[in-house]
Each structure stands twice: as structure tokens, then as C-alpha cells.
């Protein structure tokens, strides 16, 4: 059995906690989806860890200090500048604290895995992969996985791979590492979904980072067999060639066939298959070091079971 860790702080539920009225949800990224994931994972015999807020010095390696200050100000009630944070990203007085804890959770998961845990799964909310250097959008405030990658490099690891299988393109992660050859970013997503101006296959990095950014956009309606053929052939080949020191997964489950925000048609088994393949590669190249971070997944009936299968595979 793998020595897996689950990282979670209940303050993330306070970030825009209102979930529904008469059966209708106010926002796709509502607190109920996290409550149900937590309840499912509590059935497993796995260690849990409650993180502290991320250190500002680490956060500033990913985000502009002025942007960080703006997020704090908006959480304190100042009017939101929608050029800084898109209107699709909700705020309340707990948002800044929750965002610091989400980023801190990924950083502490990195520490735990380097210090001996086989791998870790982070229940992070608000999410991260749409958050750019100085702009938030798509329900995302701080780029939690990018913070984790920087923490891993602080701890002496050099080559970091980020595999993003959320149905939406991780424009923020791409932007942050676009010129960085020490970070391999691979995204599988529905093309022209969100954001529509990024995630194209020709976006392969810039300057020294050329060849370290790979996008695999799929047409709406793509089924499991087509998707996994690309994953097994193209994605695994690039990971194998890179030989990372740690692998991060932006583990979105909104490419599932029953998710309301995407139109890909992945089965339950698709996510288990990808988890298993990444786990085997990590065992070969980086002592099994994986930090998986919860991203999308907005069907609250299917999400807990999908996350449960993912974590069981990590811990098997």
C-alpha cells in the first residue's frame, strides 16, 4: 500500500458557502461539492493533514505582489476591479484566507512527499489553474499547482512535470511557465471551451521553454477510447522523455460524460487508467512522487466517486 496523504482545510467551505435554494445551485464551484468529496474520502484509511497559509515569499514567486494585495482588499470588501479578477470568480470575506490555505496545502503536500509520503491529494478551493501571474478567472484565485512546483524547486528538485486533465485549459499555469524549461506542462482539454483564446496545439512554449508546453485539445463529444489513445501515445511519451523529479496532477473530473460544464465523454475508468499510468511512471522516474490537486468536476453526484477512485488508485 502506498503511504498517501490527504491535505484539506475546512476554511475552504467558507469561501462563498451558499450552495443552493430550492434545489438550484448559485455557482458551479459551490461548497457542497467539497463537502461530498470530503465525506467520500473519509471512508478511506488514509492520513489527513490540515495546512497553514502559504508563505508570502513563496506566493510571490508565482504572482505579482500587487495582485496578491488586490485579492486581500477585495476579500475585505473593497470594490472588485474586473480587469484583475473576472466576474465569474466569486468573492466573500473568507476568500483570501481560503486561497492562502489552498496554496499552502499544495506546498505542504510537496514537503510531505519529499519527506517520505508516497504521494498526496490536495482538496484545494478556490481552484488554481486559470490564475495567471496578475489575473484571476475561472473560479481561480492563486495558482496552487504552480506554487507547489516552485516549492518543490525550493526543496532541491529540478525537473517538474504538471499534467492537467481538467476539461478546461490551464491558461494560468501555461502563462507562468511558458518560458521555463524546468517545468513540463501538459494539458488535455476540450478545445475552445474556456478560455477560448488559449490551449491551442501550436502553443509549445517560448525561448528556452520551447518544447516544454504541450496542449491536446479535443472536440466536444470525444469518447474515452480516442482520448486515452492520445494520452497513452503522446502524453506518456513526453513524460517519459522528460524524466521528472516530481509530477503534479491538476485532477479535474469535468471531462466526465456526466459533467454539466464540459462536453467530453470520458468514463469513470478513464480517470483510473490515467492515474495508474502516471503512478507507474512516477515509480520508475521520481521515487513515486506525485502531488494531485483537485481541480474541476461539477456534477456533485458523480464527483465524489470519481475522486474516491482516483485516491484509491494513488494509495494502492
Pairing of strands 20-21, 119-122: unpaired
Backbone angles phi, psi at 124, to 5 degrees: -110, 125
How far is Cα 286 from Cα 279, in angstroms, rounded to an integer?
10
The pLDDT of 200-206, averaged and rounded, is 98
182 touches 243 (CB < 8 A): no
239 — pLDDT class (breaks 50, 70, 90): very high
Q: What is the dihedral of CA 116, 275, 283, 226, to 10 degrees?
A: -160
87 — pLDDT class (breaks 50, 70, 90): very high
In this predicted structure, the answer to whether residue 241 has a pLDDT above a threshold of 80 is yes
Q: Is 285 an active-site residue? A: no
The pLDDT of 298-305, averaged and rounded, is 97
The pLDDT of 234-254, averaged and rounded, is 98
2 — pLDDT class (breaks 50, 70, 90): confident
Q: What is the pLDDT of residue 188?
A: 99
**36: exposed, middle or buried (C-beta count within 10 Å: 0-12, 13-18, 19+)?**
middle
Mean pLDDT for all residues in the chain = 96
Specify the range with the lowest mean pLDDT, choosing from 88-92, 113-117, 184-188, 196-200. Answer: 88-92
- What residues have CB less than 8 Å from 241, skipping those under 6 apart? none
User: Residues 9, 15, 130, 310: which is the catalytic one?
Assistant: 130
pTM surpassing 0.95? yes
| Residue 33 CA: distances (Å) to CA of 9, 30, 64, 134 | 14, 6, 30, 27
Q: What is the pLDDT of residue 24?
A: 56
How far is Cα 52 from Cα 292, in angstroms, rounded to an integer?
18
What's domain 4-315's architecture? 3-Layer(aba) Sandwich (3.40)
Query: Which of the pair, 199 or 20, is modelled with greater confidence?
Result: 199
Backbone angles phi, psi at 294, to 5 degrees: -60, 125
129 touches 172 (CB < 8 A): yes
Residue among 58, 26, 257 at smallest CA distance from 153: 58
16 — pLDDT class (breaks 50, 70, 90): confident
In this predicted structure, the answer to whether residue 22 has a pLDDT above a threshold of 70 is no
Q: What is the pLDDT of residue 64?
A: 98
How far is Cα 159 from Cα 246, in angstroms, rounded to an integer?
7
How far is Cα 51 from Cα 101, in angstroms, rounded to an integer?
6
Residue among 172, 268, 194 at smallest CA distance from 228: 268
Sign of CA dihedral 271, 272, 278, 282: positive
* Domains of the chain by residue range: 4-315
Amino acid at each position: 500500500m502506498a503511504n498517501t496523504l490527504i491535505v484539506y482545510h475546512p476554511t475552504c467551505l467558507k469561501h462563498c458557502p451558499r450552495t443552493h435554494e430550492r434545489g438550484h445551485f448559485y455557482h458551479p464551484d459551490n461548497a457542497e461539492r467539497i463537502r461530498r468529496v470530503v465525506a467520500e474520502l473519509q471512508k478511506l484509511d488514509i492520513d489527513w493533514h490540515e495546512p497553514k497559509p502559504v508563505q508570502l515569499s513563496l506566493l510571490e514567486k508565482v504572482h505579482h505582489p500587487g495582485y496578491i494585495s488586490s485579492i486581500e482588499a477585495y476579500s475585505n470588501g473593497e470594490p472588485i476591479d474586473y480587469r484583475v479578477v473576472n466576474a465569474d470568480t466569486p468573492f466573500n470575506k473568507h476568500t483570501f484566507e481560503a486561497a492562502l490555505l489552498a496554496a499552502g496545502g499544495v506546498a505542504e503536500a510537496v514537503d510531505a512527499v519529499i519527506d517520505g509520503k508516497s504521494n498526496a491529494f490536495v482538496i484545494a478551493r478556490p481552484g488554481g489553474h486559470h490564475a495567471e501571474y496578475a489575473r484571476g478567472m475561472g473560479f481561480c484565485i492563486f495558482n496552487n499547482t504552480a506554487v507547489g512546483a516552485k516549492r518543490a524547486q525550493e526543496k532541491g528538485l529540478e525537473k517538474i512535470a504538471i499534467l492537467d486533465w481538467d476539461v478546461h485549459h490551464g491558461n494560468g499555469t501555461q502563462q507562468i511557465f511558458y518560458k521555463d524549461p524546468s517545468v513540463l506542462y501538459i494539458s488535455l482539454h476540450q478545445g475552445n471551451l474556456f478560455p477560448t483564446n488559449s490551449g491551442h496545439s501550436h502553443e509549445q512554449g517560448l525561448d528556452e521553454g520551447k518544447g516544454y508546453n504541450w496542449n491536446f485539445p479535443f472536440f466536444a463529444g470525444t469518447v474515452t477510447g480516442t482520448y486515452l489513445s492520445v494520452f497513452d501515445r503522446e502524453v506518456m511519451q513526453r513524460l517519459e522523455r522528460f524524466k521528472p523529479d516530481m509530477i503534479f496532477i491538476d485532477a479535474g473530473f469535468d471531462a466526465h460524460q456526466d459533467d454539466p460544464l464540459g462536453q467530453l465523454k470520458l468514463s469513470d475508468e478513464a480517470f483510473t487508467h490515467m492515474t495508474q499510468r502516471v503512478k507507474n511512471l512516477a515509480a520508475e522516474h521520481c521515487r513515486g512522487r506525485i502531488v494531485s490537486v483537485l481541480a474541476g468536476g461539477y456534477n456533485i453526484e458523480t464527483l465524489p466517486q470519481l475522486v474516491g477512485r482516483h485516491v484509491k488508485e494513488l494509495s494502492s
